[in-house]
Amino acid sequence: MREFRDHASSYLSSGEPLAVRRHGRVIGFYFPVKQKNDTEELRAALRDLSESLAELRRESGLSEEELVRELVPREHESPGS
Protein backbone atom coordinates (compact mmCIF):
# COMPACT_ATOMS: atom_id res chain seq x y z
CA MET A 1 0.00 0.00 0.00
CA ARG A 2 2.81 2.40 0.91
CA GLU A 3 4.58 1.68 -2.36
CA PHE A 4 1.35 2.34 -4.29
CA ARG A 5 0.84 5.63 -2.47
CA ASP A 6 4.45 6.73 -2.97
CA HIS A 7 4.45 5.87 -6.68
CA ALA A 8 0.76 6.32 -7.52
CA SER A 9 1.35 9.00 -10.11
CA SER A 10 3.73 6.88 -12.17
CA TYR A 11 1.60 3.74 -11.76
CA LEU A 12 -1.58 5.50 -12.83
CA SER A 13 0.06 7.24 -15.79
CA SER A 14 1.57 3.98 -17.08
CA GLY A 15 -1.84 2.78 -18.26
CA GLU A 16 -1.10 -0.76 -17.02
CA PRO A 17 -3.56 -2.68 -14.84
CA LEU A 18 -2.24 -3.46 -11.37
CA ALA A 19 -3.11 -5.17 -8.14
CA VAL A 20 -2.85 -3.16 -4.93
CA ARG A 21 -1.59 -5.14 -1.95
CA ARG A 22 -1.50 -4.51 1.78
CA HIS A 23 0.68 -6.79 3.87
CA GLY A 24 1.03 -9.09 0.86
CA ARG A 25 -2.74 -9.50 0.32
CA VAL A 26 -4.50 -8.13 -2.73
CA ILE A 27 -6.94 -5.46 -1.58
CA GLY A 28 -7.94 -4.05 -4.93
CA PHE A 29 -7.25 -3.62 -8.60
CA TYR A 30 -6.72 -0.64 -10.84
CA PHE A 31 -7.72 -0.99 -14.48
CA PRO A 32 -7.25 2.17 -16.52
CA VAL A 33 -9.98 3.08 -19.00
CA LYS A 34 -9.21 5.66 -21.66
CA GLN A 35 -11.95 8.10 -22.63
CA LYS A 36 -11.46 7.72 -26.40
CA ASN A 37 -14.10 5.02 -26.85
CA ASP A 38 -15.61 4.14 -23.48
CA THR A 39 -17.29 0.91 -24.57
CA GLU A 40 -14.25 -0.53 -26.30
CA GLU A 41 -11.88 0.56 -23.55
CA LEU A 42 -14.16 -0.89 -20.89
CA ARG A 43 -14.24 -4.22 -22.73
CA ALA A 44 -10.45 -4.16 -22.98
CA ALA A 45 -10.16 -3.37 -19.25
CA LEU A 46 -12.51 -6.25 -18.42
CA ARG A 47 -10.43 -8.61 -20.57
CA ASP A 48 -7.34 -7.44 -18.68
CA LEU A 49 -9.15 -8.02 -15.39
CA SER A 50 -10.08 -11.53 -16.46
CA GLU A 51 -6.50 -12.30 -17.44
CA SER A 52 -5.16 -10.84 -14.20
CA LEU A 53 -7.58 -12.88 -12.11
CA ALA A 54 -6.64 -16.05 -14.02
CA GLU A 55 -2.96 -15.31 -13.35
CA LEU A 56 -3.69 -14.67 -9.67
CA ARG A 57 -5.50 -18.03 -9.48
CA ARG A 58 -2.55 -19.80 -11.13
CA GLU A 59 0.01 -18.15 -8.85
CA SER A 60 -1.99 -18.68 -5.67
CA GLY A 61 -3.33 -22.14 -6.44
CA LEU A 62 -6.77 -21.00 -5.30
CA SER A 63 -9.98 -22.15 -6.92
CA GLU A 64 -12.36 -19.51 -8.27
CA GLU A 65 -14.56 -19.88 -5.18
CA GLU A 66 -11.58 -19.55 -2.82
CA LEU A 67 -10.37 -16.47 -4.67
CA VAL A 68 -13.81 -14.85 -4.39
CA ARG A 69 -13.84 -15.59 -0.65
CA GLU A 70 -10.43 -13.92 -0.33
CA LEU A 71 -11.26 -10.83 -2.41
CA VAL A 72 -14.90 -10.10 -1.58
CA PRO A 73 -15.54 -8.90 1.98
CA ARG A 74 -18.31 -10.68 3.80
CA GLU A 75 -21.06 -8.40 5.10
CA HIS A 76 -21.27 -9.76 8.64
CA GLU A 77 -17.58 -10.18 9.41
CA SER A 78 -15.42 -7.71 11.16
CA PRO A 79 -12.09 -6.86 9.52
CA GLY A 80 -9.43 -9.45 10.24
CA SER A 81 -11.97 -12.23 10.94
pLDDT in tens, 4-45: 778 878 877 777 777 788 888 878 877 776 666 678 877 887
Of all helices (H) and strands (E), which one includes residue 19?
Answer: strand 18-22
Rg (CA), the chain: 14
In this prediction, residues 45-71 reach a mean pLDDT of 83
**1 near 20, Cβ under 8 Å?**
yes
Task: With CA atoms as reference, report the closest residue to 52 among 12, 18, 21, 27.
Answer: 18
pLDDT of amino acid 52: 82
